[in-house]
Amino acid sequence: MDTLQDRTFQAFSRLMHEAIGVHFTAAKKPLVASRLAPRIQKLGLGGYEDYLALISGHTAGDAGDGATGGEFQMAVDLLTTNETYFFREPAHYTLIEQEITRTKPLSLAVWSAASSFGDEAYSTAMLLADLQLRGTLGSDWRVLGTDISDRVLRSAIEAVYPEDRLRNVTPERLRRHCLRGSGEAAGMVQVHPKLRERVRFGQLNLCQPIEDIGPFDIVLLRNVLIYFDAATKSAVVDRVLTQLRPGGLFFIGTAEGRVACTTPLQPIAPGAFRKT
C-alpha cells in the first residue's frame, strides 16, 4: 500500500476536526497511517485516498447523533481510542474519597465524560460502592459514562476486561466487585452485575451542544483534551462544565495542564479543580 501523503493526511485531519473536534498535528501522521492501514487492507481498498473518499460522504452528525454503523464511526474509533485501565491517576480517586468523607453526601452524581471502555466509570463506581458500605456516602449515587465511539460503549456495557487492566484494583475490591473468568475465559474479569446496575453509558460528541444531562457533583474529562486544539479545548471544557454544580469537582489528565476557559475554576491539585 502507498504511503500516506501529506495532502491526504491534512484532508483526514480537516475531516476529523470538523466532525468531532479532533486535531492531528503533523507529528501524528505516523499514528494516523498505522491505525488506518489494517482497516484499509481489510476492506480491499487501494490506499489512503480511497479510504478518505469512502468516509468523506459522512457528516459530523453521523458521529454525534448515535449512528451505530458506518465507516466514519469506525475511523473515529481507530483514531481516538487510547490506552485505559482501572484507577488510572490514583491521586484523583484519593481526592474524590477525601471530598466525600468530608461532606458525607446522601446522594452523588458523577460523569465520566470520555469514558472509553468504561474503566474510569467502573473504577469510580467501585470507590463509591465502598464508601456507601462504609457509611460515608448515601445509597443514592450514580455514574454516567459517555463517549463518541459506539464500539467502546458496547464493550463498556459488557464490562469484560483482561486482568492486567485491573492491576491497580486491590484484591479486596476485586473480590467484592468482579467475577473472574474460567476455562476459555481465564485471564478475563467481568464487573459484577450489582455494580454494573449503577453505571449507565451513552454516546455523546463533546464538540456538539450537550443536552441537560446533569447536574453532576463530579465530572471527569481526563486524557481526551490532548486530541483537541486550543480553541476546541476551551469550548469543550466550558460546555462540559455547564453540567457541573457550583462547588463540584472537575478532573482532567494530570499531564494536560490548566485549560483556558471562561468558567471560573479553583485549582486544588494537578489535574483537579473546583467550580467556583
Annotated binding site for S-adenosyl-L-methionine: 82, 84, 88, 120, 147, 205-206, 222-223
Bind-site residues: 82, 84, 88, 120, 147, 205-206, 222-223
SS (H, E, C) the chain: CCCCCHHHHHHHHHHHHHHHCECCCHHHHHHHHHHHHHHHHHHCCCCHHHHHHHHCCCCHHHHHCCCCCCHHHHHHHHHHCCCCCCCCCHHHHHHHHHHHHHHCCCEEEEEECCCCCCHHHHHHHHHHHHHHHHCCCCCEEEEEEEECCHHHHHHHHHCEEEHHHHCCCCHHHHHHHEEECCHHHCCEEEECHHHHCCEEEEECCCCCCCCCCCCEEEEECCCCHHHECHHHHHHHHHHHHCCEEEEEEEECCHHHCCCCCCCCEEEEECCEEEEC
